[in-house]
A and B are shown apart, each in its own frame.
Chain A
Amino acid sequence: MSNRRDFMGMALGGFAGLGALGALYAAKRTWDPLPSVKAGGFTTLDLSNVPENTLVVEKWRGKPILIIKVAKDDKAYKDKRLITVDGHKFMITIGLCTHLGCIPDYFPDQHQFICPCHGGQFDAAGEVTKAPPPSPLVIPPFKIDGKKVVLGEEGPEYKKLKAAGLVA
């Protein structure tokens, strides 16, 4: 007798637990980022009118993005980190110094980034030329689309750079 009572109680308890799991799933989905946030995760850069050796700043997922159209005579022109779009070479990196996160300034005459916080320096390809930053400026996931670049998507060129250990 008592066993039947216990069994029914446990069956009910188990089934109620199942319902609780369903409710928890719905709750998890409520916590998910909204469609507008997910859509904002992709930024398209139109690179057709970017002047050479001039810093262009964009925004992607709340972070600054530094773009330099590298001149042919720049020391960094042959750097493998540069991205080729429509025949031109671009540095596209997240604009946060890898030391402590400040936004480095670009000095076109010196073809150098100098970080105002602790004096760290990067060249026009984002490689470190003076300490304290420990690593190059990070390349965000990107996909080349004709004369445009879409940030937030991992295109084949990005995957190649990542495999070669060059994105960060």
Chain B
Amino acid sequence: MKELKVLAVVVFFTLVTYWGVEPFAHSQMHKHVEGHDFAYPDINASGVKGNAANGKNLIAACTGCHGIESQGMKAPMDALASSAAYGVNPPDLSNAGAVFDEKFLIAFMQNPAHTAKAKPNFAMPPSASSAQDAADIAAYLKSIAPKEVTPKEAFVTACGRCHADRYGKWTQIGDVPKTKSNIKTGNDVELAQFKINLAKYQDKLASYMGKLPPDLSIISRARSEHYLKTFVEDPQAVLHGTAMPRVGVTKEGFEKVYAYLESTGDPSKAERERVGPWVLLYFVIFTLLAYGWYKSQWKGLK
């Protein structure tokens, strides 16, 4: 029918325009980077088997800067003091064994700046004198880590000391506390103090990194999942020259982190996918009824 031919022409030109402006143009603007699914091919396996018990003995090499809350070991300095000393707050290691790749950790402990592909001023110095020592510590960390970490725990461990997520009420120095304001003045001194501490921390962090790492509240809508996955796996491959270090998460670790990012970046996704089919069904029925009315009105007219 002639009318279908007209529709086909309209659809054809619309699709050509869409293709050119969206998939094609974006492929030209952003070169596709293929990741390695967090296999870290440039890092060789250590070749030694780690002994967790020995790792526990060696852990003092780490607790000079890092806390391990789950084992009752508090960090020697709080976040703010750490930032003044090192530029950034060394992460608590309670969940490290669940989130970071073992091969990565072993190489990292021996040569942090190089393994993280970070700038020479990287805060952590080499902290294991041999591959065996590093493997032992990594095995210990794995042994104390919980079987499953929540998405937020993964995010806090892998990203949280540089990146805030304000929609999730997370800042680089911890969750925004619940405070009460003074009923007589309206002032909230506790919150004001928290904000001052956060500002000081961020100033030190921005100095150390070169700029303040961006808030990740809505990053899951500002970048594609593929981009974030390849970026976290190897920042230099996607954004050459970036200050962000390679953090060495496992594939599962990234999936947990991404789940957290999606929870703050696209929280309505579940509801959207629930409501969508019903709205579409409604309009399909509407169109069928409209077709019936149209046909009844035009019967015998042509």
- A54 and B183 CA atoms in complex are apart in Å by 16
A contact residues, total (Cβ < 8 Å): 16
- A16 and B285 CA atoms in complex are apart in Å by 10
- A58 and B285 CA atoms in complex are apart in Å by 56
Query: In the complex, what's the smallest C-beta–C-beta distance from B287 to chain A, in angstroms?
Result: 10
- Contact of B293 with A8 in the complex, beta carbons under 8 Å: yes
- Contact of A8 with B289 in the complex, beta carbons under 8 Å: yes
* Contacting residues, chain B, for A4 (C-beta < 8 A): 296
- Contact of B286 with A16 in the complex, beta carbons under 8 Å: yes
Chain A at the B interface: SS class: helix
B contact residues, total (Cβ < 8 Å): 12
Q: Given A1-B299, A12-B292 in contact, is the A19-B286 Cβ separation under 8 Å?
A: yes
- Contact of B290 with A57 in the complex, beta carbons under 8 Å: no
Against A, the Cβ 8 Å flags (1 = close, 0 = not) of B277-299 are 00000100110011011001101
- Contact of B292 with A57 in the complex, beta carbons under 8 Å: no
- A64 and B183 CA atoms in complex are apart in Å by 9
- Contact of B296 with A15 in the complex, beta carbons under 8 Å: no
- Contact of B296 with A8 in the complex, beta carbons under 8 Å: yes
- Contact of B296 with A12 in the complex, beta carbons under 8 Å: no
Q: Is A117 an interface residue (CB 8 A)?
A: no
Name the one of A1, A12, A64 contacting B290, with C-beta atoms under 8 angstroms. A12
* Contacting residues, chain B, for A22 (C-beta < 8 A): 282
Give the top 8 A-B pairs by smallest Cβ distance, nearest first. A8-B293, A12-B289, A5-B296, A8-B292, A8-B296, A12-B293, A4-B296, A9-B293
6 more contacts with CB within 8 A, not counting A16-B286, A58-B183, are: A8-B297, A12-B292, A12-B293, A15-B286, A15-B289, A59-B183
**Sampled A-B contacts (17; CB under 8 Å):** A1-B299, A4-B296, A5-B296, A5-B297, A8-B293, A9-B296, A11-B293, A12-B286, A12-B289, A12-B290, A16-B286, A18-B282, A57-B183, A57-B184, A58-B183, A59-B183, A64-B183
Q: Which of A's residues lie within 8 Å of B, judged by CB?
A: 1, 4-5, 8-9, 11-12, 15-16, 18-19, 22, 57-59, 64
